[in-house]
Amino acid sequence: MAQIDHQAELTRAGAHVSTRMDAFLHLCRRFPLGAIGAVICVVFVLSAALANVISPHDPLQTNAALSLKAPNAEHVMGADFMGRDMLSRIIHGARISLAVGVFSVLLGGGLGVIVGLMSGFLMGWFDLIMQRIIDIMQALPLLVMALVMAASLGPSLENTIIAISIPLVPDVARVVRSNTLALREMPFVEAARAAGMTEIRIAIKQVLPNTLAPLIVIATAQLGSAILTEASLSFLGLGVPEPYPSWGRMLSENAAEYVRAAPWLVIFPGLAISAAVFGTNLLGDAIRDLLDPRQRR
């Protein structure tokens, strides 16, 4: 009897896995570009997580004999002007870009959620003041505002995260505020208010979960922008400093002086930045279409 129950349990588990796999393949067929973006993002994340394992060389180790070494079997992407292996530096650069992008989106998104919820629920003078501040922040492009913040704070990993996260606040705050204004008068919110729930608890328990779908879409879109902004700041010398291997700093060090003598020093970091931003944008578009009720059948 125990063997029969065990066999039945394995059968149910196999059917469950098969159903999940069918659903995954259906999503891949429905959103092929999103599947490509997801693959790029998975490669990006795995490279960052396993950088110490898969890197063939130490990204900080210099060797004058290998200066400007062309790509070969031992150094697949060549070596830079200090003899450092480019492949190892690009792999470790994924860790820096991912850390800056994720933490910037989390910090900026968290602040935006707080401001949006408070503006939508408190309204009045607080909403008026906060929306005018957000208008001023949105008048400046993301890169320009990040440049101002980075120049004020100084080049470091932590300051780069802060400099990028602050310009991300307005978009999240506006979306959360608009959803809060639409949801605060809904019957389930009125029922929670009649049951004695405080406004803060209603905002956290009732309103915030109903804004997760647009927040996920914004987060994926902002992740690509944050990665590109970090590369731009590092290129200008205001981002992540040495000895961290940043893709933008690799371009800054090599673009002007070695672009003709050693073009691989510019091509490979540029391709890494383009692939990361391209993958996150494709994945964000697919998630937006997936969560859009008008796209459902």
Query: For 250-254, what is the mean pLDDT?
Result: 77
For the ranges 17-21, 228-232, 258-262, the lowest mean pLDDT is seen at 17-21
Decide: residue 131, CB within 10 A, 0-12 exposed, 13-18 middle, 19+ buried.
middle
Q: What is the pLDDT of residue 103?
A: 92
Q: From 1.25.40.10, 3.30.300.340, 2.160.10.10, 1.10.3720.10, which CATH number describes the 32-295 domain?
A: 1.10.3720.10
Q: What is the pLDDT of residue 249?
A: 83
Query: For 212-231, what is the mean pLDDT?
Result: 85
83 band by pLDDT with thresholds 50, 70 and 90: confident
Q: What is the pLDDT of residue 10?
A: 46
Chain-wide mean pLDDT for the chain? 81
Of residues 45, 155, 60, 58, the one with CA closest to residue 94: 45
For the full predicted model, state whether its pTM sits above 0.85.
Answer: no
Sign, CA dihedral 62-64-68-70, equals: negative
155 band by pLDDT with thresholds 50, 70 and 90: confident
pLDDT at 276 over 80: yes
Q: Where are the domains of the chain?
A: 1-30, 32-295
User: CA angle 254-255-259, nearest 5°?
Assistant: 90
Q: What is the pLDDT of residue 106?
A: 92
Query: For 218-247, what is the mean pLDDT?
Result: 84
